[in-house]
Chain A
Amino acid sequence: MIQYYFDWGVIWRSWDKFAAALGLGLTLAVVSLAIGTVIGLAGAMARVYGSRWVAWPVWLYVEFIRNVPLLLLVFFIYFGLPEFGIYFLDKTQSFVLTLSLYAGAYMTEVFRGGLASVPRQYMEAAKAIGMRPWQRQRYVVLPVMFRITLPAVSNNLISLFKDTSLAAAIAIPELTFVARQINANTFRVMEAWLTASALYLVTCYVIAMLLRLVERRYASIR
C-alpha cells in the first residue's frame, strides 16, 4: 500500500486564499442566480404569454443551453466573444455572463412550470375585484408562483455554486482553482482537494439549511 503522510500546515498557511476563493465562488453563484432569475422570469412570460415569434427563440435558447455542457459554454463565451469584437469583458465578467445565461435557461423552465401550476381560481379572484392584467400578474400570480418554485430555485442556487468550480478552467481564483494551485505548488494533493471538498460540502449544506428556513417562512400555500 502506498504510504501518504498528511501535512496540513500548507493548508493553514493558505487559509486566507481559501476564504477569498470561497467568497468569490459564492458571489459568482448569487450574482448569476440574480441575473438568471430576471432572464428566467422574462423567458417564462415569453413562453407562456408570448406569441410564437417570441416563444420560439426562447425555446431554442433554453434547449441550446440545457443540452450543451457548461464547460463548453464557458470556453465558447470566454474565447469566442472576442472573435466577434467583444473585448471589454474580463474573465470574471465573462464567466458571470455564461453562468447567468445558463441559470436563465433553467429558471425559464422552473418559472414556466410555476406559472402553469398557479391555480386559475386566484386569477379569477383577482379579476373579480377589478384588477388589471399586469396587476393580476404583479400582485397575485407572481407572488404565488415564487412560493411554488422556491424549492426549485434553492436547488438551482446550490447547483450554481458547485458549477462555479468550472471557472477554474479560465483561471478565476475560486476554490477549485486555489486547490489546484496549492496542489501544484506544494504537492499536498490530498490536503488541498479534501479541504476544497469539505468547503463545498459545508457551504452547500449551510445554504440548503438556510433556504429551508426561508421556504418554511413562505410556506403559506400547500
Chain B
Amino acid sequence: MSEQVLLAARGVRKSFGEVEVLKGIDLDVRQGQVVSLIGASGSGKTTFLRCVNLLEEHDHGDILLDGDPIGYRVEGGRRRRLSEAKVSAQRARIGMVFQSFNLFPHLTAEGNVMLGLTKVLGKGKAEAKDIAGQWLDRVGLGERRGYYPYQLSGGQQQRVAIARAVAMQPRLLLFDEVTSALDPELVSEVLGVMQKLAESGMTMLVVSHEMLFVRDVSHHVVFMDGGRVAQAGTPQEVFGNPESERLRGFLGRFHGLFGQAA
C-alpha cells in the first residue's frame, strides 16, 4: 500500500478511573482504506473510536490526523490541551456515525444534514439544501427529506445519519457498531450504503460485528483484545490464519461463516 497514512495511532492509552481500557494502541489508516476493528465487547474498540473523535480524551500516546496531533498541541516539549474551538474544528474533519443514530429529533432528515453545513462550514441555506438533497438521494432517502426522525425506521434513520456525516466531507469517517441497534432485516440497507461509500474511496474506520461485511469490504482488519491490538492484517490473514486462541475463540462465535472457525 503506497497511499499516505491519514490517521496514525501511537501507543494510545486511556483509563476510566482505575481501569485501563486502552493499553497502547498502534494503528495506521491509509487514505482511501477501510479499516475494521473487531473484538469482544470491552476490548476497547469503541473507546478507541471515541478518542479519535475527541468524545473521550486519551491519556498517553498520539493520535495523528494528517500528521496533526488530535486534541493537543506541543509547546516547549509539553502537550497542552487545545481550546474547545480548535477541538471542534478537528472534529469537523472527522465524521462519526453512532450505534443509536443520534439524529436531532427536532429537525427533518434534510435539517439534520444541513445543520453542520450551515453552522459549521458556513454554507448558505440554498447550497446546504442542495448538498443535503444530493446525499439523501445517494442513501436512497431523497423522497423522505421532509420526514422527522420519529417518522423513519431505524435503518432509514441510520442512513440519514450517514448522509449527515458524509455531507461534511470529512477526511475520515468513523462507524461505531452502526448496525447493532437495528432489526436484522434493516441491517443490509445500511451495510449497502457503507459498501458504496467504501467503493467511492472514502477512508473509513469501522467497529462492527458484521463479520461478512468486515471480511468483504475491509482492506485491513484489527483484532483487539483487552485494550491491545492482538492481531492485524488483511482480512485473509486475520480470518484465514487466526494466530491466537482468543481470536479463534472470537471467530468461533460466528461459526458457519468461516471455514476455519469451528
Interface, chain A (partner B; CB < 8 A): 121-122, 124-133, 135, 139-140, 143-144, 147, 218, 220-222
User: Would you call A133 and B120 a contact (CB within 8 A)?
Assistant: no
User: Which B-chain residue is minimally distant from A136 (CB atoms)?
Assistant: B88
User: Would you call B104 and A130 a contact (CB within 8 A)?
Assistant: no
Q: How many residues of B contact A (CB 8 A)?
A: 32
Pick from A130, A218, A222: contact of B91, CB under 8 Å: A130
User: Residues of A contacting B90 with CB < 8 Å?
Assistant: 130
User: Would you call A127 and B88 a contact (CB within 8 A)?
Assistant: yes
Interface, chain B (partner A; CB < 8 A): 53-55, 84-85, 88-96, 98, 100, 102-106, 115-116, 119-120, 148-150, 161, 164-165, 168
Q: A130-B91, A143-B106 are in contact. Are A135 and B98 (CB under 8 A)?
A: no
CA gap between A132 and B86 in the complex, in Å: 9
User: Would you call A125 and B55 a contact (CB within 8 A)?
Assistant: no
User: Would you call B98 and A130 a contact (CB within 8 A)?
Assistant: no
User: Would you call A144 and B96 a contact (CB within 8 A)?
Assistant: no
Pick from B100, B106, B150, B164: contact of A129, CB under 8 Å: B164
Q: A129-B115, A139-B115 are in contact. Are A124 and B102 (CB under 8 A)?
A: yes
User: Residues of A contacting B150 with CB < 8 Å?
Assistant: 220-222
CA gap between A135 and B84 in the complex, in Å: 12
Q: A143-B106, A144-B106, A221-B150 are in contact. Are A129 and B168 (CB under 8 A)?
A: yes
CA gap between A143 and B164 in the complex, in Å: 19
9 contacts between A and B (CB under 8 A): A121-B98, A121-B102, A122-B102, A129-B91, A129-B95, A130-B88, A139-B119, A140-B115, A218-B106
User: Would you call A128 and B106 a contact (CB within 8 A)?
Assistant: no
Q: A129-B116, A221-B150 are in contact. Are A144 and B105 (CB under 8 A)?
A: yes
User: Residues of A contacting B105 with CB < 8 Å?
Assistant: 122, 144, 147, 220-221
User: Which A-chain residue is minimally distant from B113 (CB atoms)?
Assistant: A129
CA gap between A218 and B107 in the complex, in Å: 10
User: Which A-chain residue is minimally distant from B54 (CB atoms)?
Assistant: A127
Pick from B91, B100, B119: contact of A121, CB under 8 Å: B100
Pick from B85, B89, B95, B149: contact of A128, CB under 8 Å: B95
User: Would you call B102 and A125 a contact (CB within 8 A)?
Assistant: yes
Report the minimal beta-carbon distance from B55 to chain A, rounded to whole angstroms: 6
User: Which B-chain residue is minimally distant from A219 (CB atoms)?
Assistant: B150
Report the minimal beta-carbon distance from B107 to chain A, rounded to whole angstroms: 8
User: Would you call B119 and A131 a contact (CB within 8 A)?
Assistant: yes
User: Residues of A contacting B94 with CB < 8 Å?
Assistant: 128
User: Which A-chain residue is minimally distant from B105 (CB atoms)?
Assistant: A221
User: Residues of B contacting A147 with CB < 8 Å?
Assistant: 105-106
User: Residues of B contacting A218 with CB < 8 Å?
Assistant: 106
Report the minimal beta-carbon distance from A118 to chain B, rounded to whole angstroms: 10
User: Residues of A contacting B104 with CB < 8 Å?
Assistant: 122, 125-126, 140, 144
User: Would you call B100 and A131 a contact (CB within 8 A)?
Assistant: no
CA gap between A121 and B104 in the complex, in Å: 9
User: Residues of B contacting A121 with CB < 8 Å?
Assistant: 98, 100, 102
CA gap between A140 and B90 in the complex, in Å: 20
User: Which B-chain residue is minimally distant from A134 (CB atoms)?
Assistant: B84
CA gap between A133 and B120 in the complex, in Å: 12
Report the minimal beta-carbon distance from A203 to chain B, rounded to whole angstroms: 30
Q: A128-B94, A132-B85 are in contact. List 20 more A-B contacts (CB 8 A).
A: A121-B100, A121-B102, A122-B102, A122-B104, A124-B98, A125-B102, A125-B161, A127-B53, A127-B91, A129-B92, A129-B115, A131-B116, A131-B119, A133-B88, A135-B119, A139-B119, A144-B106, A220-B106, A220-B149, A222-B150
CA gap between A222 and B84 in the complex, in Å: 31
Report the minimal beta-carbon distance from B51 to chain A, rounded to whole angstroms: 13
CA gap between A221 and B148 in the complex, in Å: 9
CA gap between A122 and B149 in the complex, in Å: 12
CA gap between A126 and B168 in the complex, in Å: 12
User: Residues of B contacting A122 with CB < 8 Å?
Assistant: 102, 104-105
CA gap between A132 and B161 in the complex, in Å: 19
CA gap between A3 and B51 in the complex, in Å: 82
CA gap between A143 and B115 in the complex, in Å: 13
User: Would you call B120 and A131 a contact (CB within 8 A)?
Assistant: yes
Report the minimal beta-carbon distance from A19 to chain B, rounded to whole angstroms: 38
User: Which B-chain residue is minimally distant from A218 (CB atoms)?
Assistant: B106
